[in-house]
Structure 1
Amino acid sequence: MKNLSLVVLTLWIAIQLTSCKEVKQEIVEQQEEAPPNIVFILSDDQAWTDYGFMGHDHIKTPNLDKLASESRTFTHGYVPTSLCSPSLASIITGVYPRHHMVLGNDRVLPGDDKKGKPAWTLPWRDKNYVPVIENFKKLNTLPKMLKQKGYLSFQTGKWWIGNYSNGGFDYGMTHGDPERGGRHGDYGLEIGRKGMDTLYNYIDLALEKKKPFFMWYAPFLPHSPHNPPDSLLQKYLTKAPTEYVAKYWAMCEWFDITCGELMDYIEKKGQTENTLFVYVCDNGWVQNENDGAYNPISKQSPYDYGLRTPIMYKWKGKITPKLDTLSLTSSLDMVPTVLALLGMDRPEELDGINVLDETEIKNREAVYGEIYNHDFNTIEDGLKYRMVMTNPYKLIVPDPKNRPNEKIQLYDIFKDPFEKVDLAGERPKVVDDLMKKIETSWSTEP
C-alpha cells in the first residue's frame, strides 16, 4: 500500500510540474507574441543632408544620429511627393497621391477667385476641401489596420485631413474644425514647440490600459516659423552664412532634442525593447540665405532636395542595425513593413514593399514619385512632374500639358547626388527605358 501511495504521489508531482511548466511556457509565448508599440517620427521641411549622420558639417542631431546607428537605416529613401499634405497622406495609407487623391495642400475649383491671395486664406478653401476629407475617410489607414491587433492610435503634430479620427486614430490633438482655425494641425502643431506632455499622457494611457500603441509624432519642426530658442540660435550664428540659415539649422537641432525627449520617455517607461521606431521626413527644404523662404530646388520640386530622406527602422533585438547606402526605399514602404513585422497580411492596394525582406528589397528596380500643384483640383489639371529613381539614374518628366516649357532631365544620383549634370541629351536609351518604367507604373494599378 505504501508503494502504491508513493507511486500516486510521484505521478501527482509530475503532473503538477508538467502543468506548471506548460503554464510558464504559455506565458513566455504570450510575451513573445505581444505586438510592439509603434512610433512614427516625422520631420517637417528638412533636407536629406541636414543631419549629423548624413554628413552635415554644422547641424547637430545627436539623438537622430544615435537612432540611425541603432536602426536599419536607408540613406536613399524617398517620399513620393515633395509637399506635406499629400506626403503625409501617403505615409499613413501606403499609397501614391493619385490613389488617395490628396494631391496638394489646398483645393481650387474652376472659377474660384484667389484675389491675389493664398487659397488657404480665402473663405471657400474649407468648403472645397470637404470632398477630399470625405474621400479620405473611406480609405484604409495604418491606424485602422492596427485595430485588429488591439492597438490604441494617437495623433500629434501636423495632420491635414480634418479631425484625427478621419485617419482612424483613437485619440489626437488636431480637431480640424475650420471655425477654430483647423487646416493642417491646429492644436496638434503645439507638440514639440510647447512641450511633450500631451504625447506623454497618451503613452501613459496606453500603458494603463495595457494596450500596444501607435504614435504619430509629426511636429511642426523644423518647419517655419524659424523661431528657435535663443540658446540654440547662438550656437549657429557664428557658423552660418546668414541669420536665416542659422535659424533653420537651430530648428533642426530643436527637432532633434524633442526626438530625444520622446525616446527617453519610452525608455523611462521600460518600453524601448518593445517599441518599433520608424523615421522619415515629409519633404525637403533648402533655406535661402537672404530671406525666410525656401529655395525652389527643394520643397515642391522634383529634385532630391525635395524628395530624398533618410528612412530608419529600429526595434531593439529584432531588427539588425545596418547603414544601407545603396538600396532604394520609399515612405510608401512604411505601412507594408510594419504589417510584415506584425505578421499581418498586406492589402493589395498598397504601393510599397517590406523593406526588411531581403528578397523584396534586392528585386526592387525603382521607386517612383509624382508632384501636383499646391493648389490642386484634378490629376489631369494639377500634375507637374513624374519621377523614377533607380540605381544609378533618376528621370524627371514634366507634364507636357501643365509644364510645356520644361524638358526631361536625367541624373546619376549616386555619382551626382546634388543633380548638377543633366545626362538626358547624351543617354537617350536610358531615358527611353526609364520612361517606359514610369508608364508601366501608372498603367499597372493595384
Structure 2
Amino acid sequence: MRLVITALFALTMVAGFSVRVACAADQPNVVILLSDDQRWDDYSFLGHEAIKTPNIDRLASQSLVYERGYVPSSLCRPSLASLFTGLYPHQNGITGNDPRENKRTNEGRAVLVDRFQQNPRLAAILGQHGYVSFQSGKWWEGNPSSGGFTAGMTHGDVTKGGRHGDVGLTIGRKTMQPVMDFIDKAVAEDKPFFLWYAPMMPHLPHDPPKRLLDKYTQDDRPLEIAKYFAMCDWWDETCGQVLDHLDKKNIAENTVVIYLCDNGWIQEADKGGGAVGGPKGKRSVYDGGTRTPIMIRYPGHVKPARNKSDLASSIDVVPTILDAVGVKTDYNFPGISLLDEAKVDQRKAIFGEIYSHDIPDFRHPEQGLHYRWIIDGDYKLIVPSGLDEGEYGPEKVALFNVTKDPEEEQNVIADHPEIAADLHKKLDAWWNPTLQN
C-alpha cells in the first residue's frame, strides 16, 4: 500500500514550505468528496439493506478503505476545520459552529476566521506548490481565500446570507457546472488542482427528486426515513458525476481521491426538519456521530484493499494527501499518512472531543468541552466534562467494546476497570483540559 513517487521536481523555499514548481503531469490532482450528515454504514458496499450507492461502491472497490475511520468531533464546522488544518479542535480553535457572542455579524465571525487562518491550511499548502484550488459546498471560514483557495463559490458575507457556504450550497442540489468548469480550466491550463467537493448532502433539508423518493417509498417505511435514504442515493449520484468527469478528461489515473463524511446521522422516523441526527448521531460522542469510512484512491500507487481493523481519523487526511503528492512541510501534524503501513501498524489509539454548538471562547476550548474519547483496539472510553447532562453521551465515564457492541449499548467499565484506567491515562496524555492555559 505504500506510495512511491518517482517524479523529480525543482525545490525552493517560501514561507516555511518546500515549494515545487509543477505542472499537472508532474504532480497528482487532489479531490476530496465530503459527505454531510450520513451514518458510517449507510452505503450499500457496507451492507445497508436499502440504500443504493453504486458510485461510491465503485470508488470503494478502487480504493484503500479504512472501515474504522473517525472524525474527532461530530459537528459540521469543527469537523471540517480539523480535516482542513490537520489539527484537533482544541489546537485549531474551531470547536463549534458559531461564536457565542455576535454570532450573526461579520465582526463576530471574523474573529474565528482570523483564528482559523493562523493554522496550516490544506489549500494554502498545496497552493505554495503550484496547485490551483476550488471550494464548493460547505465552507464556514468566510471567503474561500481564507483557506488558501484560488477560487470558490462561497462569499462568506453574513449580511448577504453567508454562514456555512451560502451560494456554494447550490452545488450538487441545483448544479454541478462550477465544479466541471474548474476541472476543465485546470486541465486546459495544465495545472495540478485541488477540488473541495462538499455539498450539503444528504444533510437537511431532505428534499430529494421525486424519482428517487419514489424508489425508496414503501408502505411499511416512514416517509422521513424514505427521504433520508433517497438523499443518500442523490449524494451518490453527484459523486458519480465528479468521478465520471475525471475519467472523461483522462485524469483519473493522476488524481488522488479522498472520501469521507463530516459526521454521522441517525434519521428518526417521526422527525423531519427538526431532527438532529438521533440521540446517538450528529453531535454525539458515540460512533453514530463520529465514525465514517475513509477512502484513498490513487490508481497505480495505492493498492485497493478493505482495512477492517486499523484505526483512521480525519486528522490523517492532510498528512496522507501531502504524502501522496510528495509535498514536505515544517508542520508537525498529530495525524499520520494512511499510506505509511508501518505508522498505521504502530498506531494504537485515536482521539476525539465533543463541544457545545456555540463557542464560548476560542482561546479556552475547555469552556465548551462536553466529552473526550479514545479508541484503543476494541475499546472506546468516553470521559464527560460535566458540562453536558447526558444529552450527547453518557453522564459518567463509560467503556464500550465497539467491535462487539457497535451501538454502544453495554457499558462494560465495571467488568474492565484496568482497561478503563489505562485508556484514561492515554487520553490525559493526549490532552488534559485541566492543564489548559
Give the TM-score, by structure 1 length: 0.88
SS at match of 2:111: helix
Aligned residues: 407
CA contact (8 A) 1:340 1:346 kept: no
Deviates more, 1:216-225 or 1:406-415: 406-415
How many angstroms apart in 2 are the aligned matches of 1:203 and 1:437?
44
Q: Which runs of 5+ in 2 are unaligned?
A: 1-6, 10-21
How many angstroms apart in 2 are the aligned matches of 1:346 and 1:41?
24
Q: Which of 35, 42, 51 lines up with 1:43 in the alignment?
A: 35
Change (3 A) 1:175 1:278: same
In structure 1, give the amino acid aligned to 2:324. Answer: L
CA contact (8 A) 2:145 2:151 kept: yes
SS at match of 2:310: coil
SS at match of 1:397: strand
- Counterpart in 2 of 1:214? 194
Alignment of 1:255-274 (within 5 A): 255-274=235-254
How many angstroms apart in 2 are the aligned matches of 1:66 and 1:346?
33
How many angstroms apart in 2 are the aligned matches of 1:159 and 1:192?
14
- Counterpart in 2 of 1:318? 301
Instruction: Give the superposition deviation at 1:380.
Output: 2.4
Change (3 A) 1:149 1:239: farther
SS at match of 2:293: strand
Larger Rg: 1
Instruction: Give the superposition deviation at 1:403.
Output: 4.7
CA contact (8 A) 1:71 1:319 kept: yes
Alignment of 1:161-176 (within 5 A): 161-176=141-156
Change (3 A) 1:370 1:209: same
- Counterpart in 1 of 2:269? 289
How many angstroms apart in 2 are the aligned matches of 1:147 and 1:161?
18
Identity %: 46
- Counterpart in 2 of 1:248? 228
- Counterpart in 1 of 2:397? 408
In structure 2, give the amino acid aligned to 1:414. Answer: T
Instruction: Give the superposition deviation at 1:31.
Output: 9.1
Q: Does 1:59 align with 2:39?
A: no
Q: Does 1:34 align with 2:23?
A: no
SS at match of 1:261: helix
In structure 2, give the amino acid aligned to 1:178. Answer: V
- Counterpart in 2 of 1:442? 431
- Counterpart in 2 of 1:307? 290
SS at match of 1:341: helix
Instruction: Give the superposition deviation at 1:417.
Output: 1.2
**Structure 1 stretches (4+) deviating beyond 4 angstroms?**
30-33, 401-405
- Counterpart in 1 of 2:376? 390
In structure 2, give the amino acid aligned to 1:264. Answer: D
Q: Does 1:427 align with 2:419?
A: no
Q: Which runs of 5+ in 1 are unaligned?
A: 1-24, 113-119
Deviates more, 1:416-425 or 1:125-134: 125-134
- Counterpart in 2 of 1:195? 175
Give the TM-score, by structure 2 length: 0.89
- Counterpart in 2 of 1:104? 96
How many angstroms apart in 2 are the aligned matches of 1:248 and 1:224?
9
How many angstroms apart in 1 are the aligned matches of 2:300 and 2:220?
40
- Counterpart in 1 of 2:162? 182
- Cα deviation per residue 1:190-236 (whole Å; 9 max; x = unaligned)? 00001210001111111122100000000010000000000000111
- Counterpart in 2 of 1:12? none
In structure 1, give the amino acid aligned to 2:413. Answer: A
Q: Which of 223, 236, 240 lines up with 2:216 in the alignment?
A: 236
CA-based RMSD of the aligned residues comes to 2.1
